[in-house]
């Protein structure tokens, strides 16, 4: 099962729901990896949705492509990475009509970034749904060098840019679509705790 | 009085110092011998003559040096000053508020001459004499918020108000107690306060928000907040925490009196007229323990507050590891005598230290 119940946390931490079919002129669906399962569940609730759906899917090595294409969405695109998909996503959002529904599913990093694009394009937050599936990895911003490290699974972790060892905060910026990482040994240089897998 | 401006630093050699005048008017934040969170708001309509509460925007002996430190922080990291596109009008509101207040409250230091939208601003301590067109950004060297907050002590958060909520949509933040404007910009009131322990559960933020949403033009409010800082470092930002965090470990029983500082924020809240935004200046005052305990009442009280503070708060405020050493030092200045109510030092009536 790809669903994970996040423990209750501080108020800046995002909370995700369960996708549900909503009436709309068009349906933009963006998912990565196990997020595909949420789209499959969504289609199972309302198969008619797909005739007006545009799916942007980033498989990340998973094998959901055939199942998603079998839903016969009006448009289907598979991207090798989120970064590779983002130009298409912006184009679709820029041309979206009023009444467009946005469905985001998969990892927090994918949902956060895509939500940011949708908000910037003027999609009201009430037309955006999210459902977490799959990896609990986090997209982290190093507060010191501002570099983003994707898919962080351990706390502490090493910043991919400046190399500092950072602890994983729950403080989250929607604008950056990232959690904050702060030097773990700032008050005792070199004393870096053994990394622990998130939520273990 | 004419203020003698110090030539001092808040980094490297830390030559920052408080005169006797600055010590006596220090905004000591504890009105009783213990501390717990509270909304603790009061009207910001003056205060005792000479106190930091008297003027709308207090100017003191640290002004020129603080502005020099701010310019250095901004040169290193321009993201400390940001304003989302819809906040420019609020920036003009803030510029007007500060210019009008300072020129009225300190006519010997600041002058504002207005002829329609043509304004001439003279800032004598910083040697500035600029003429510009109000509401025309092209006539200033920076955006209006950045221009005026490069000339005003303390951090400034400019909060947009919509959907019965406050949003951190602009700010100048270079003297902060360990929070990042660059990270928090765009967050709502509950989100940017998310990391604060205990206070959410106590309902503090709900009550504070309700109060702040209702602040009216011409009726500003204020409160105090506090933390601890080793060395008189203004820029205790998360951005630079990897550099300054280690300074906390340099305290020794010999140097704690001069190195350990109580850091107090005078937070004020003003409604802005055109934008309906709320400006939230956070003015930082620093005092070394050795200067603070020259006021017998403050020495007694600070010892009791630090001793009895819940561990969560000492952790959040970042001094749990140094607390034992702080208590060893401060206990020398607590003879167990009762203290008078209120924050003022009451030098004339409080007894000298009895040990």
pLDDT at A3: 84
ipTM: 0.91
| pLDDT tens column, B164-216 | 999 999 999 999 989 999 999 999 999 999 998 888 888 889 999 999 999 99
Q: A54 to each of A84, A96, A116, how far by Cα in Å?
A: 17, 11, 18
DSSP letter at B236 equals: B
Residue B179 tokens read as 């929070």
Residue B170 tokens read as 């602009």
Q: With bands split at pLDDT 50, 70 and 90, how would you rate the model's confidence at B295?
A: very high
| pLDDT tens column, A69-124 | 999 999 999 999 999 999 999 999 999 999 999 999 999 999 999 999 999 999 99
Task: Provide the mean pLDDT of chain B.
Answer: 96
Contacts A–B by Cβ distance under 8 A: 63
pLDDT at A186: 97
The minimal CB distance from A175 to the residues B79, B186, B321 is found for B186
pLDDT at B1: 55
- Residue listed under structure tokens 């986090």: A138
Element (H, E) at B47: none
Q: B28 to each of B21, B105, B292, B327, B348, how far by Cα in Å?
A: 14, 23, 9, 18, 17
Is A187 close to B192, i.e. CB distance below 8 A?
no
Q: With bands split at pLDDT 50, 70 and 90, how would you rate the model's confidence at A1?
A: low
Residue B191, chain A, CB below 8 Å: the answer is yes
Report the sign of the C-alpha dihedral through residues A24, A25, A28, A29, in that order.
positive
Residue A65, chain B, CB below 8 Å: the answer is no
Residue B183, chain A, CB below 8 Å: the answer is yes
Q: With bands split at pLDDT 50, 70 and 90, how would you rate the model's confidence at A28?
A: very high
Q: Whole-structure pTM over 0.80, yes or no? A: yes
- Is B263 a residue of the active site? no
Query: B261 and B22 in contact (C-beta within 8 Å)?
Result: no
Question: Is A113 in the same domain as A185?
Answer: no
Q: With bands split at pLDDT 50, 70 and 90, how would you rate the model's confidence at B220?
A: very high
Average pLDDT for A156-179 = 97
Question: Is A91 in the same domain as A175?
Answer: no
Question: Is A40 in the same domain as A113?
Answer: yes
Rounded to a whole number, what is the distance in Å from the CA of A45 to chain B's nearest CA?
33
Question: Is A48 in the same domain as A65?
Answer: yes
Q: What is the CATH number of the domain that holds A90?
A: 3.40.50.80
| A188 → chain B, closest CA residue | B246
Question: Is A120 in the same domain as A142?
Answer: no
Question: Is A47 in the same domain as A84?
Answer: yes
Number of domains forming the structure of chain A: 2
Residue B268 tokens read as 């004020």
Question: Is A144 in the same domain as A99?
Answer: no
Question: Is A178 in the same domain as A147?
Answer: yes
Domain for residue A167, yes or no?
yes
Where among A100, A132, A164 does a domain terminate?
A: A132
| A175 → chain B, closest CA residue | B186
Question: Is A46 in the same domain as A127?
Answer: yes
Question: Is A108 in the same domain as A144?
Answer: no
Average pLDDT for B280-307 = 98
Question: Is A108 in the same domain as A180?
Answer: no
Domain for residue A4, yes or no?
no
Partners of residue A10 in chain B, C-beta under 8 Å: 194-195, 200
d(CA B230, CA B112): 39
pLDDT at B277: 98
| B79 → chain A, closest CA residue | A146
Domain for residue A17, yes or no?
no
Is B238 close to A187, i.e. CB distance below 8 A?
no
pLDDT at B40: 84
Domain of residue A80, residue span = 27-132
| pLDDT tens column, B130-155 | 999 999 999 999 999 999 999 999 99
Query: B205 and B199 in contact (C-beta within 8 Å)?
Result: yes
Average pLDDT for B69-87 = 97
Question: Is A80 in the same domain as A94?
Answer: yes
Partners of residue A173 in chain B, C-beta under 8 Å: 183-184, 186-187
Is A173 close to B186, i.e. CB distance below 8 A?
yes
d(CA B153, CA B98): 11
């Amino acid at each position: 099962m790809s669903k994970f119940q996040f423990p209750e946390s501080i108020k800046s931490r995002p909370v995700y729901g369960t996708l549900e079919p909503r009436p709309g002129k068009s349906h933009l669906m963006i998912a990565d990896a196990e997020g595909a399962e949420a789209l499959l569940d969504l289609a199972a609730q309302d198969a008619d949705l797909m005739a007006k759906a545009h799916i942007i899917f980033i498989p990340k090595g998973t094998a959901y492509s055939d199942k998603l294409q079998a839903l016969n969405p009006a448009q289907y695109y598979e991207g090798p990475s989120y970064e590779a998909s983002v130009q298409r996503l912006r184009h679709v959002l820029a041309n979206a009509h009023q009444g467009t529904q946005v469905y985001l599913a998969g990892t927090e990093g994918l949902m956060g970034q895509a939500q940011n694009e949708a908000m910037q394009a003027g999609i009201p937050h009430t037309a955006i749904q999210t459902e977490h599936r799959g990896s609990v990895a986090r997209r982290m911003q190093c507060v010191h060098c501002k570099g983003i490290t994707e898919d962080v699974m351990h706390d502490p972790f090493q910043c991919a840019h400046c190399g500092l060892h950072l602890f994983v905060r729950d403080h989250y910026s929607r604008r950056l679509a990232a959690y904050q990482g702060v030097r773990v040994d700032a008050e005792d240089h070199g004393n870096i705790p053994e990394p622990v897998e998130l939520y273990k | 009085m004419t203020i003698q401006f110090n030539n001092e630093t808040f980094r490297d050699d830390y030559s920052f110092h408080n005169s006797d005048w600055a010590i006596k008017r220090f905004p000591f934040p504890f009105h009783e011998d213990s501390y717990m969170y509270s909304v603790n708001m009061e009207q910001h309509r003056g205060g005792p003559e000479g106190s930091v509460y008297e003027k709308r925007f207090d100017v003191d002996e640290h002004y020129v040096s603080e502005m020099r430190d701010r310019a250095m922080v901004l040169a290193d990291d321009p993201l400390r000053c940001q304003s989302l596109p819809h906040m420019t009008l609020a920036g003009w509101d803030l510029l007007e508020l500060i210019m009008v207040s300072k020129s009225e409250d300190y006519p010997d230091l600041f002058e504002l001459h207005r002829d329609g939208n043509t304004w001439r601003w003279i800032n004598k301590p910083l040697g500035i004499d600029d003429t510009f067109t109000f509401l025309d950004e092209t006539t200033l060297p920076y955006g209006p918020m950045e221009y005026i907050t490069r000339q005003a002590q303390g951090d400034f958060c400019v909060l947009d108000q919509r959907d019965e909520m406050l949003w951190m949509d602009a700010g100048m933040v270079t003297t902060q107690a360990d929070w990042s404007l660059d990270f928090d910009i765009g967050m709502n009131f509950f989100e940017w306060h998310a990391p604060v322990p205990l206070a959410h559960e106590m309902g503090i933020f709900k009550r504070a928000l309700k109060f702040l949403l209702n602040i009216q033009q011409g009726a500003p409010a204020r409160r105090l907040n506090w933390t601890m800082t080793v060395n008189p470092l203004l820029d205790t930002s998360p951005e630079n925490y990897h550099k300054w965090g280690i300074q906390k470990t340099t305290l020794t029983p010999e140097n704690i009196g001069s190195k350990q500082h109580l850091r107090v924020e005078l937070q004020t809240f003003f409604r802005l007229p055109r934008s309906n935004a709320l400006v939230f200046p956070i003015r930082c005052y620093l005092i070394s323990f050795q200067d603070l305990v020259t006021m017998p009442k403050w020495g007694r009280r600070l010892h009791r507050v630090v001793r009895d503070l819940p561990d969560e708060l000492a952790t959040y405020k970042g001094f749990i590891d140094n607390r034992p050493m702080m208590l060893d030092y401060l206990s020398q200045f607590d003879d167990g005598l009762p203290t008078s109510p209120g924050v003022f030092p009451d030098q004339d009536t409080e007894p000298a230290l009895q040990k």
